[in-house]
A and B are shown apart, each in its own frame.
Chain A
């Protein structure tokens, strides 16, 4: 097995008085689509935010391409080639779609500096964005905002995408659109770590899967084996459903 692109070892994160991550061990192999599953409050979002350096780990190591990034600030982590699509999408509502793109393209001073081929490819994935190019992003629908959020993460090539619950609150037809877009992304060999609660959405995309509970990873394996093993699903996700109530 090749060296993991991202590797977390024994990561603990405290937020205020709360001990959220209690020793997370996770490996994200390059070129693969890893899904992080688990119930609400299991620590999935915190894991992504800790990787991004928004919250700092109190213990443990986070390595990206073999180098420790746990002590870096968020901008430095982003500059190493990690893109983040947060749960709330982080859209700049008062800026136009176009301006959101320009900001996401770090190398570009103006829109003219953006790679036209790549831009065309992004538009192909999300045609709506071309249409609303000059509109304030705040006026987009929820699904379109999610598309913009993902598009921002890929407008320039990045080594790793961290995506937090892209299916949340979206209509089924738009979820399918999103699945298509992620499949297309997969073909470009982008490494993706995606947090999801919607197993149906997740099973269509993931190569590998990790399940979290109580601030720890409680299962890792291939998506195929999890999808084929109903008893395991029951145990991992049924359990999470039960404790969810």
Chain B
């Protein structure tokens, strides 16, 4: 061996902490781009809030999907059924609570929605647990079967919802206090959209806290990168995965309640209809990345609303167009998860 004298010891070089914040800037950039395009400022405010509200709800629904994929390479094509179930549960729960929802007192309104959200989360989480056991567990590591069987789960789930609630649309009315708009300057912003934005922010903050400040969160983030190593450190990743799957289902149920209230009516096909949008969001964000999913959701929400106002025919393609542009810029999505 002929050891050449090493150059400056690498131990002394301090690597700079680089945080990739560029994608984060996309949201204000798109929002600001919207101002001249939309023309009227008050319309822009209305549209922006609508976009943010839609984005937040999509984020709540899609976050579980992307985490489940990141952790176990499982893409649940049946995720939509949890949304539908959440929304139908909302009709079932808010119906008997009509006394609260029609009350003039905003606290009772809020209470009714909270009860619906919590109950939907618990029940859908439970269904998610059974879904994982019966549908997903037997086909780990077999992507072909996984795609088909989760699709099968979706078909059966949707049909079962029709068995219980019937095939027709059911109206889901907003509680009295959430109806109508408030004026911000000249812009009218629907109250419920503000509520949705606030709930979305709370969920995002809670998720951020869990992922960055708790050991379970550390394990999830580590598992997304290298699940084999997590097991070698002595943790049972399957158990972690079930936990994440159940939490993801519960969030989809919560998203279903919010989405149902947003649309003010629920149909058995609503979950399936939104699935493509969810895929677009998690592809844009980078499969497995919660932060990317958040940004992707807001982008999709904003672009859909601006495009819907500017050119309704193009609006239907705006999301796919957005995905193509993002993928041309970053082929792995906004935040690629460094898989080993």
A residues contacting B by CB (< 8 A) are 52, 54, 73-75, 78-79, 83-84, 86, 88, 90, 92-95, 99, 102-104, 106, 109-110, 127-128, 131-132, 135-136, 138-141, 143-144, 152, 171-174, 200
| Pair A144/B11 contact, Cβ less than 8 Å | yes
| Pair A90/B232 contact, Cβ less than 8 Å | yes
Residues in B with CB closer than 8 Å to A99 are 218, 222
Q: Is B225 interfacial (CB 8 A cutoff)?
A: yes
| Pair B229/A75 contact, Cβ less than 8 Å | no
Interchain residue pairs with CB less than 8 A apart (8) = A54-B231, A54-B232, A93-B225, A95-B221, A109-B215, A152-B233, A173-B3, A200-B1
Closest 5 CB pairs of A and B: A78-B234, A90-B229, A139-B15, A74-B231, A172-B3
* Residues 1-56 of B at the A interface (beta carbon under 8 Å): 1, 3, 6, 9-11, 13-18
Residues in A with CB closer than 8 Å to B3 are 172-173
B1, B9, B14, B215: the one contacting A102 at CB < 8 Å is B215
A172 and B18 alpha carbons, distance in the complex (Å): 29
A66 and B72 alpha carbons, distance in the complex (Å): 34
| Pair A110/B232 contact, Cβ less than 8 Å | no
Residues in B with CB closer than 8 Å to A171 are 6, 10
**Known interface pairs A136-B17, A173-B6, A173-B9. Does A95 touch B232 (Cβ–Cβ under 8 Å)?**
no
Contact with A along B197-237 (1 / 0, CB 8 A): 00000000000000000010011011001101111111111
Q: Is B338 interfacial (CB 8 A cutoff)?
A: yes
Residues in B with CB closer than 8 Å to A131 are 14
What's the nearest-Cβ distance from chain A to residue B300, in Å? 24
What's the nearest-Cβ distance from chain A to residue B18, in Å? 8
B3 and chain A: residue at smallest CB distance: A172
Residues in B with CB closer than 8 Å to A109 are 215
Interface size class on chain B is 20 to 34
A175 and chain B: residue at smallest CB distance: B3
Q: Is B340 interfacial (CB 8 A cutoff)?
A: yes
| Pair A95/B222 contact, Cβ less than 8 Å | yes
A5 and B155 alpha carbons, distance in the complex (Å): 53
| Pair A135/B15 contact, Cβ less than 8 Å | yes
A73 and B18 alpha carbons, distance in the complex (Å): 37
| Pair B17/A94 contact, Cβ less than 8 Å | no
| Pair B234/A138 contact, Cβ less than 8 Å | no
**Known interface pairs A95-B221, A99-B218. Does A144 touch B232 (Cβ–Cβ under 8 Å)?**
no
| Pair A78/B222 contact, Cβ less than 8 Å | no
What's the nearest-Cβ distance from chain B to residue A166, in Å? 16
What's the nearest-Cβ distance from chain A to residue B106, in Å? 39
